Structure 1
Amino acid sequence: MSSRIREQLLSLLLHNTDSFISGEEISRRLQCSRAAVWKQIEELRKEGYQIEARPKKGYRLVHRPDRVAPEELKPHLSTRRFGRRILYRQSLPSTQPLAHDWARQGAEEGALIITEEQTQGRGRMGRVWHSPPHSGIWMSLILRPPVPLAQAPQLTLLASVGLTRALRRETGLDIQIKWPNDLLIGRKKFCGILTETRGEQDRVQYVVLGTGINVNVSGTHWPDELKDTATSLMIEGKRSYRRADLIAAILKELEELYDGYLSHGFEPIRILWEEYAGMLGRNVRTLTPRGPVEGTAVGLDGSGALLLRQGEEVIPVFSADIDY
């Protein structure tokens, strides 16, 4: 009940920033007591919201902090499923394990786990992902695609396209995809995607799509070993961004691409991916489970494998680290 009142209260305040709204009116619209309204006003103030109160006039929102809590995110959503159910925590070791637990308990497709801080964020192959508090987007989305297990890696490529399109539109930055799961600006990484699949009898049971995005992270937050290879939207755009706005745009783009993928297959995603891939035409070096492979990146095949040209031969690479 309190979370519902809190979400609706904040929505009211956000829609009336130019005027006061009385406690009586809030109480009537939210169908709760004046005491419940006052309690939630105090809770919001503790979270950093500046709410002006005047006798006989009521309340007015003066300042809102940059948070990714449901009450901040939901007013911006235009999706049908993605993000409509949210599990939010101030801090988590990582959003991925909690998403797996929730998925096993039957969470519906589109359920979202999101946090202000990850203390043990991780990327592909168990690498550490540095996730300072209140500065990035650290979230995991639960999907239940009716596809064979062999096609599950295509969802990482779909996610990279969706994130690139949404963030380019919102920031105007020249974002490029690096196969298989990174987004770059220039040669520096600001976003990583981690897709983990569980299935049985060659069918996908569920997918946890994890995303870590450096949004308002300044260079001072990073350890020395990351300063030459990492960046953020704020550093590149020379401005800060409201994370709730970015998340809403990302979820909308992902849902549209995902629904299209289920209807029309991987080919439209493959074409879009090649449009945004900054590595095509370049000589790349890969370290595969079978050893190093070098060649010119020329595109993706129908399964999502990276195609490398070596002389007259084109070799598909299915899983590897690459450098170029």
Structure 2
Amino acid sequence: MDPDVRAPLDTALLRDLLCEPHGPLRRLHVVETSESTNTELAAGVAADPAAWPAPALLVAEHQVAGRGRAGRSWATPARAALTASLLVRPQVPRGRLGWLPLLAGLATVTALRSTLGVQAVAKWPNDVLVLTDEPEIEGWGRLRKIAGILTEVLPDGVVIGVGLNVSQTREELPVPTAVSVAQVGGASIDRTVILTALAEASVSVLGRWTEAGGDVHSSGLAEEVAAVSATVGASVRVELADGTELRGTATGLAADGALLVEDASRTVRTVHTGDVYHLRLN
């Protein structure tokens, strides 16, 4: 592999583009290695909140013990992915924070489409997928995961972690349902370029949401989230947190961002947490 493919991030350029006075961030910190950027950022905020004025971004060149939803582990080769956590302190009603993973998904999809030409879609609640030419896999079809999102509410703010596969080969990806930007022919695998687009899109989407007091409808974000969703309109199987299973059609999103699923009896159930598998895309 060309060594330039996994060159270090251009931290000086990132600060010039993304930090005040030219950019939207108030702090950008890049570390060589982190077990988990979410964990490290949360600890930093707890130890010294004033050192982390929001919005602030922590980025790791190599994340060695990343965490996904439900405590799942996630790791990548050094400099093969983007692993970053954004600190925000949105002044919105707490009941509206459930939209944050969906808004982060919208921002990630927007960055991938506009900057890389990758036609990504969002899977409820916190995955970003790409349609590939690969053979179908049950529960996935030909969709593959290119990014995951982990949102955690802190006493002083919210941390939104994003892990995006960039240059990994098929052999370097942990599961057959994953894919990287390189594999799907993205216009660039320069992580500095991709991180700039991702940070700008994230701050823009979250800024619109915050300005509207967390109202996704008056801000127009509810429609945009639904438009990029591969889940809304699909036949789904949901493994619920209590061990039971729900099958039906994902008909939309509730006021708090939960998934609405109509079952065989035409009863609409509200899903706040669970593993979703697509049975058929409409």
TM-score scaled by structure 1? 0.74
Q: Which moved more, 1:172-181 or 1:235-244?
A: 235-244
Cα distance per residue 1:35-63 (max 9 Å; x no partner): xxxxxxxxxxxxx9xxxxxxxxxxxxxx8
Q: 2:116 aligned with 1:164, yes or no?
A: no
Pick aligned residue for 2:170 from 206, 212, 219: 219
Cα distance per residue 1:63-112 (max 9 Å; x no partner): 89732252142233387664441222111111112100222211111111
Q: How does 1:43-192 map to 2 (within 5 A)?
A: 66-77=7-18, 82-104=24-46, 105-106=48-49, 107-186=52-131, 187-192=143-148
Query: 2:40 aligns to what SS in structure 1?
Result: helix
Pick aligned residue for 2:258 from 290, 299, 305: 305
The separation in 1 between residues aligned to 2:7 and 2:144, in whole angstroms, is 25
Query: 1:147 aligns to what SS in structure 2?
Result: coil
* Gap regions ≥5 residues in structure 2: 132-142
* Structure 1 residue aligned with 2:205: 257
The separation in 2 between residues aligned to 1:289 and 1:65, in whole angstroms, is 38
* Structure 2 residue aligned with 1:266: 216
Query: 1:261 aligns to what SS in structure 2?
Result: helix
CA contact (8 A) 2:122 2:228 kept: yes
* Gap regions ≥5 residues in structure 1: 1-47, 49-62, 200-204
CA contact (8 A) 2:26 2:54 kept: no
Q: CA deviation at 1:164?
A: 0.5
Query: 2:67 aligns to what SS in structure 1?
Result: coil
User: Identity, % of aligned pairs?
Assistant: 29
Amino acid at match of 2:271: V
Which protein is richer in helix relative to its size?
Answer: 1
Distance of aligned partners of 1:146 and 1:183 in 2 relative to their CA distance in 1, 3 Å threshold: same
The separation in 2 between residues aligned to 1:258 and 1:234, in whole angstroms, is 28
Distance of aligned partners of 1:286 and 1:64 in 2 relative to their CA distance in 1, 3 Å threshold: closer
Q: CA deviation at 1:159?
A: 0.4
Query: 1:103 aligns to what SS in structure 2?
Result: helix
* Structure 2 residue aligned with 1:247: 195
TM-score scaled by structure 2? 0.84
Query: Which structure would you say has the larger Rg?
Result: 1
Aligned CA-pair RMSD: 2.1
* Structure 1 residue aligned with 2:152: 196
Cα distance per residue 1:208-263 (max 9 Å; x no partner): 1111000111112134xx1x211001101166511111111111111111111012
The answer to which structure, 1 or 2, has the higher relative contact order (CA under 8 A, 6+ apart) is 2
The separation in 2 between residues aligned to 1:319 and 1:180, in whole angstroms, is 8
